[in-house]
A and B are shown apart, each in its own frame.
Chain A
Amino acid sequence: MSVHASPSLTFESPEQGPDSQRRCVAVCMGTGCSSSESALVRERLREALVEQGLDAEVEVRRTGCFGFCEQGPITVVYPEEVFYTRVKPRDAQKIVEEHIVGGRPVEKLLYKDPLREQPVQKWHEIGFYGKQKRILLGNCGVIDPENIDHYIAKAGYQALEKCLTQLEPTDVIEEVTKSGLRGRGGGGFPTGVKWGLARKTPRWPKYVICNADEGDPGAFMDRSLLEGDPHSVIEGMIIAAYAIGAEYGYIYVRAEYPLAVRRLRIALEQARERGFLGENIFNSGFSFDLQIKEGAGAFVCGEETALMNSIMGERGQPWPRPPYPAVSGLWDQPSNVNNVKSYAYAPAIIRNGADWFKQIGTPKSPGTAVFALTGMVNRTGLIEVPMGITLREIIFDIGGGIPHGKQFKAVQTGGPLGGCLPEEYLDVPIDFDSLQAAGSVMGSGGMVIADESTCMVEFARFFLKFACEESCGKCPPCRIGSLRMLEILTRITEGEGRLEDLDELKRLSKGLQRGSLCGLGQLAPSPVLSVLRHFEDEFRAHIVDKACPARKCKALITYEVVAELCTGCMVCGRNCAANAITGEKLQPHVIDPELCERCGLCYEVCNFDAIVIKSPR
């Protein structure tokens, strides 16, 4: 007999659902907005509503991430969906008085699109959201992630009920296989096939593991999903566990995601209380529970075998496959490791059917893709787009193009192990196979935009340095080879490069790709190779002309004063920490290149554009 309460998909009282009140002010409480005082905004909103006597009438709701983090803290007033950006605690009064009471949206808090003159009122009219299709992130910004009733009201746990009461485990696997869902950790392996393999291994216990060790610099897809809709991931994991026959699971999440960990804890507790986790779920005889395992922030622990080592308390180092986790994984038992997003798709697929999923995206890569759009682009943040959308649409329609009228140069996908693509690839549709064919990879969702002011050699060096530092140290090609490559790249950016370095880089890359144990080493050279392929002229400029075309590499640039423009205001001289700038008042100044440290401060503070950065070419 179950010790848990029987799961219930109806509300105990209608007040608990997300649509239970006529009006609602949603405040983003994701990590980004929280760091700019959104908790205080929420508090002030509550106080202002109490003052107006509207606290029973209007709900102030904590939600997950809206994705438009650079404009945070974000507050949305439902049901009108008026989208307020950069809301300060002191603005709360105004929102309540002018909007809630007065019915007039607060204009100064609306999003001002740099590409349009009029401020935009509604959420979905903002260009950033125009071409998005939010399936995974559908609940983020809508429901309270710490309230299971909100999730249930959005059809949550219905898929689980359907699985446990109507479907055999093999039916679940078949449905997921039929949907064509491919692993969203970056590899793109068909999720249903993976589940099938784990099911086939006739050994118990089996484990279900969620890989939430999101380590790409600047990427936060998984974090936002866990913070905004943790139950969808948990439900997906229970479904997967039922499908493969597992009784226990782990969510491996970075300890650097304290908010995600806290929301997950709350969600697990609530799911247990309702009997979605525990023994005899939905009276089906199926039992499952899971626990959170916090990782200490090693990038390599995103590799599934290193992740399992870490769960077992071992050093986070990968082991060679085969045997694959489906055969021998955690504690040598059959295990299924999927990314956060892969699990979160499962409930939607079961609920709406494989055919529904297949009609989104492309035939070979159905569904949506979540990207953390960042770098030199007007609108940055978290986006979810249907597969098949082009890079151009993401960068120029969603991202709003390159700021300050600069030229687009390259886009890096797949994080530090991905590749960069130049302008001629902008019309490549985004899906696993097309990106690979173009020389990059899908990855788990990082997307960094570089403009003309980015030095591509330095760009490649940055990513390689990351991989080099995050190498686990187990196999020599990655541990030593990546450092040797980094040394060459550093040499080139310092003007010490030799032409034969280019061949040496290619040779070392090949060694890493062929010889490394895991994906980290095998893919570490990818950014370098893609830059070499598309921007070899920049390498040659650094090596042959000792010039940095983007004027970024300190060893290859000089700062000079244009005498005709200099007014002798002395601002630059006062700001120069190296005392490299001399000149009399009202006379043109001079920068001593020997003393100059190339910090660029004079360039920034000059009000007359009289300072220029020069590089031989």
Chain B
Amino acid sequence: MINLTINGESITAPEGATILEVARMAGIEIPTLCHHPDLSNVGACRMCVVSVQGARALQTACTTPAADGMVVDTMSEDAVETRKFVLEMLLTDHPNECMTCEVNGDCELQDLVYDYGVKWPEHNGQRHQWEINPDPNPFIFIDRNKCILCSRCIRACNEIQNRDVWNFAYRGFQTKLVAGADQFMLDAGCESCGQCVAYCPVGALYDKMSIGLGRVNQITKVRTTCSYCGVGCNFDLNVRDGRIIRVTSAADAPVNGMALCVKGRYGYDYVHHPDRLTRPLVRAKWLGREAVEERIAAGEWAIFDEAKQRLTHRRPPNDAQTPIPNTQYPNTQYPNTQDLNTQLPPDTFIATDWDTALDVVANKFAETKKKFGGDAFALLASAKCTNEENFIFNKFTRQMLATHSIDHCARL
């Protein structure tokens, strides 16, 4: 343990910690932009400069190791003036569009400019005029005019995702955040995990699907567990008016922290998709005639379209007169209540309740086992299952169905 003084307060700290870490442990706030606790420290943004007694110049708190006997002043005139200068310089090359910016109210630069009372610098000099949204990546939006070159995206991509897509190119004022060798992101090996977006302190990187759908003060965050695989990542659904508009990382997520994959971060569009199945479907031939008639009358049915490899849209209940496009069986009569005597197309599915559907499955299992024996089955477990579910699945396969043909789709 070492002892040092920060802002006149004497503090005991573990050896090897930086001044910033020690200060934050003691509840002393030092502003940062390029620092993030998940990432390595680079000392680029100069916001965390502090005065250290005896040092030749201001030191960046994020990179300077705290030492025994050190006397630190985080709010010295030099440090505060430097922070103001840095913020002013950043603003001289930043668009003045907080009014329309996606991250208004959720922007580290905006907060610091406010806290330090920096005024908008008018000048006739050069400002970057990069093309907005120049990359065809379907998920990630880029506005380099807002980029403050903090390199958090670069480090997140490199250190957390190990993809190393981002880097800086060119020098001086021309320095530019680029993917690969100034290519499109996907050509540079991007997997669209959106980690770069999660770590961007400003609005330079944003989620393309969420543009214009709501800002931080308009949404409610709902913590949830990802439904895609068994890892169990947590994240926040950003909900506005009952609709999910965005997924944001939750730093306190116990399994994954800020990290998410492309499915977890961007694969939420199914939730409000009109094609989404909300009830079990059973082939018409496994149900009794009465049930089929009733459901078809209610419009709750669908046909599997082999060409499209999906269930073609069933007739919407409130739009019973719209003819169903029938590409697969051009000569088949459309099923309707009058016409149930004719043969239904073999892939007609009827929406039903879980009990009915599970009964159908159980009966078919029993029937098949009786007729052909257990080895007629082969089972594939889903990676979405938890360990406990997989255990039950295993028991069910070997004991109930009596087969060893079990595998797992561990490909997610």
Within 8 A of B (CB), among A454-509: 468-477, 479-484, 487
For residue A335, which residues in chain B have a CB less than 8 angstroms away from its CB? none
- Can you sample 6 A-B contacts with CB below 8 Å? A315-B168, A317-B168, A477-B86, A483-B126, A483-B173, A511-B85
For residue A487, which residues in chain B have a CB less than 8 angstroms away from its CB? 123, 125-126
In the bound complex, CA of A471 to CA of B59 (Å): 20
Q: A320-B43, A471-B171 are in contact. Are A477 and B85 (CB under 8 A)?
A: yes
**Within 8 Å of chain A (Cβ to Cβ): is B229?**
no
Residues B172 and A475 in contact, CB atoms below 8 Å apart: no
**Within 8 Å of chain B (Cβ to Cβ): is A515?**
yes
Residues B172 and A479 in contact, CB atoms below 8 Å apart: yes
Closest to B81 in A: A514
> How far apart are A310's CB and chain B's nearest CB, in angstroms?
13
**Within 8 Å of chain A (Cβ to Cβ): is B45?**
yes
Tally of contacts, chain A with chain B, CB under 8 A? 104
Q: A480-B89, A515-B58 are in contact. Are A471 and B43 (CB under 8 A)?
A: no
Closest to A515 in B: B82
Most chain B Cβ neighbours within 10 Å, of A472, A481, A483: A483
**Within 8 Å of chain B (Cβ to Cβ): is A522?**
yes
Q: A477-B85, A482-B172, A483-B173 are in contact. Are A319 and B42 (CB under 8 A)?
A: yes
Residues A468 and B89 in contact, CB atoms below 8 Å apart: no
**Within 8 Å of chain A (Cβ to Cβ): is B25?**
no
Residues B149 and A479 in contact, CB atoms below 8 Å apart: yes
Residues A320 and B60 in contact, CB atoms below 8 Å apart: yes
Chain A contacts to B: CB under 8 angstroms = 298, 300, 315, 317, 319-320, 322-323, 468-477, 479-484, 487, 511, 514-517, 522
Within 8 Å by CB of A469, from B86, B148, B171, lies: B171
> How far apart are B82's CB and chain A's nearest CB, in angstroms?
4
**Within 8 Å of chain A (Cβ to Cβ): is B102?**
no
Within 8 Å by CB of B89, from A317, A323, A471, A481, lies: A481
For residue A298, which residues in chain B have a CB less than 8 angstroms away from its CB? 171
**Within 8 Å of chain A (Cβ to Cβ): is B175?**
yes
Chain B contacts to A: CB under 8 angstroms = 42-46, 49, 57-60, 63-65, 78, 81-82, 85-86, 89-90, 92-93, 123, 125-126, 148-149, 151, 167-168, 170-175
For residue B172, which residues in chain A have a CB less than 8 angstroms away from its CB? 468-473, 479, 482-483
Residues A319 and B43 in contact, CB atoms below 8 Å apart: yes
In the bound complex, CA of A511 to CA of B78 (Å): 9
Closest to B58 in A: A514
Within 8 Å by CB of A475, from B45, B59, B93, B171, lies: B45
> How far apart are A493's CB and chain B's nearest CB, in angstroms?
15
Residues B171 and A484 in contact, CB atoms below 8 Å apart: no
Residues B42 and A315 in contact, CB atoms below 8 Å apart: no
Residues B46 and A515 in contact, CB atoms below 8 Å apart: yes
Residues A517 and B46 in contact, CB atoms below 8 Å apart: yes
For residue B44, which residues in chain A have a CB less than 8 angstroms away from its CB? 474-475, 517
For residue B174, which residues in chain A have a CB less than 8 angstroms away from its CB? 473
Residues B57 and A522 in contact, CB atoms below 8 Å apart: yes
Residues A322 and B64 in contact, CB atoms below 8 Å apart: yes
Residues A474 and B89 in contact, CB atoms below 8 Å apart: no
For residue B175, which residues in chain A have a CB less than 8 angstroms away from its CB? 472-474, 479
In the bound complex, CA of A483 to CA of B92 (Å): 11
For residue B89, which residues in chain A have a CB less than 8 angstroms away from its CB? 476-477, 479-481, 484, 511
For residue B65, which residues in chain A have a CB less than 8 angstroms away from its CB? 322-323
Residues A472 and B171 in contact, CB atoms below 8 Å apart: yes
Residues A511 and B82 in contact, CB atoms below 8 Å apart: yes
Residues A473 and B64 in contact, CB atoms below 8 Å apart: no
In the bound complex, CA of A471 to CA of B81 (Å): 22
Within 8 Å by CB of B170, from A322, A473, A474, A477, lies: A473
Residues B90 and A480 in contact, CB atoms below 8 Å apart: yes
In the bound complex, CA of A522 to CA of B57 (Å): 10
In the bound complex, CA of A394 to CA of B300 (Å): 98
Within 8 Å by CB of A473, from B49, B85, B126, B168, lies: B168
Q: A320-B60, A322-B64, A477-B89 are in contact. Are A515 and B171 (CB under 8 A)?
A: no
Most chain B Cβ neighbours within 10 Å, of A322, A470, A476, A522: A476
> How far apart are B225's CB and chain A's nearest CB, in angstroms?
38
Q: A511-B82, A514-B78 are in contact. List 6 more A-B contacts (CB 8 A).
A: A470-B172, A471-B172, A474-B44, A483-B173, A487-B126, A511-B81
Residues B45 and A476 in contact, CB atoms below 8 Å apart: yes
Residues A471 and B148 in contact, CB atoms below 8 Å apart: no
For residue B93, which residues in chain A have a CB less than 8 angstroms away from its CB? 480
For residue A476, which residues in chain B have a CB less than 8 angstroms away from its CB? 45-46, 86, 89-90, 148-149
In the bound complex, CA of A495 to CA of B148 (Å): 32
For residue B49, which residues in chain A have a CB less than 8 angstroms away from its CB? 515
Residues A517 and B168 in contact, CB atoms below 8 Å apart: no
Closest to A518 in B: B43
In the bound complex, CA of A328 to CA of B92 (Å): 36
> How far apart are B62's CB and chain A's nearest CB, in angstroms?
9
For residue A322, which residues in chain B have a CB less than 8 angstroms away from its CB? 64-65
In the bound complex, CA of A479 to CA of B168 (Å): 13
> How far apart are A448's CB and chain B's nearest CB, in angstroms?
22
For residue B85, which residues in chain A have a CB less than 8 angstroms away from its CB? 477, 481, 511, 514-515
For residue A317, which residues in chain B have a CB less than 8 angstroms away from its CB? 168
Residues A479 and B63 in contact, CB atoms below 8 Å apart: no
In the bound complex, CA of A322 to CA of B43 (Å): 11
Residues A484 and B58 in contact, CB atoms below 8 Å apart: no
For residue A468, which residues in chain B have a CB less than 8 angstroms away from its CB? 172-173
For residue B92, which residues in chain A have a CB less than 8 angstroms away from its CB? 480, 484
For residue A517, which residues in chain B have a CB less than 8 angstroms away from its CB? 43-44, 46, 60
> How far apart are A183's CB and chain B's nearest CB, in angstroms?
16
In the bound complex, CA of A514 to CA of B125 (Å): 23
> How far apart are B20's CB and chain A's nearest CB, in angstroms?
12
For residue A516, which residues in chain B have a CB less than 8 angstroms away from its CB? 46
> How far apart are A225's CB and chain B's nearest CB, in angstroms?
28
In the bound complex, CA of A100 to CA of B57 (Å): 62
In the bound complex, CA of A474 to CA of B42 (Å): 9
> How far apart are A217's CB and chain B's nearest CB, in angstroms?
16
> How far apart are A506's CB and chain B's nearest CB, in angstroms?
13
For residue A481, which residues in chain B have a CB less than 8 angstroms away from its CB? 85, 89
Residues B82 and A484 in contact, CB atoms below 8 Å apart: no
Most chain B Cβ neighbours within 10 Å, of A323, A469, A484: A484
For residue A484, which residues in chain B have a CB less than 8 angstroms away from its CB? 89, 92, 123, 125
Closest to B64 in A: A322
> Across chains A and B, which 9 residue pairs bring their CB atoms closest together, nearest first?
A473-B175, A320-B43, A511-B85, A471-B172, A480-B89, A487-B125, A515-B82, A320-B63, A483-B173
For residue B86, which residues in chain A have a CB less than 8 angstroms away from its CB? 476-477, 511, 515
Residues A514 and B42 in contact, CB atoms below 8 Å apart: no
In the bound complex, CA of A289 to CA of B16 (Å): 33
Closest to B93 in A: A480
Closest to A516 in B: B46
For residue A483, which residues in chain B have a CB less than 8 angstroms away from its CB? 125-126, 172-173
In the bound complex, CA of A393 to CA of B43 (Å): 44
Within 8 Å by CB of B171, from A320, A473, A511, A514, lies: A473
Closest to A468 in B: B172
In the bound complex, CA of A603 to CA of B265 (Å): 69
Residues A319 and B63 in contact, CB atoms below 8 Å apart: yes
For residue A473, which residues in chain B have a CB less than 8 angstroms away from its CB? 149, 168, 170-175
In the bound complex, CA of A477 to CA of B57 (Å): 15
Closest to A314 in B: B167
In the bound complex, CA of A517 to CA of B63 (Å): 12
Closest to A473 in B: B175
Residues B43 and A480 in contact, CB atoms below 8 Å apart: no
For residue B148, which residues in chain A have a CB less than 8 angstroms away from its CB? 476
For residue B81, which residues in chain A have a CB less than 8 angstroms away from its CB? 511, 514
Closest to B148 in A: A476
In the bound complex, CA of A483 to CA of B65 (Å): 32
Closest to A517 in B: B43
Residues B82 and A471 in contact, CB atoms below 8 Å apart: no
Q: A322-B65, A515-B85 are in contact. Are A474 and B60 (CB under 8 A)?
A: no
> How far apart are A491's CB and chain B's nearest CB, in angstroms?
9
For residue B151, which residues in chain A have a CB less than 8 angstroms away from its CB? 474
For residue A522, which residues in chain B have a CB less than 8 angstroms away from its CB? 57
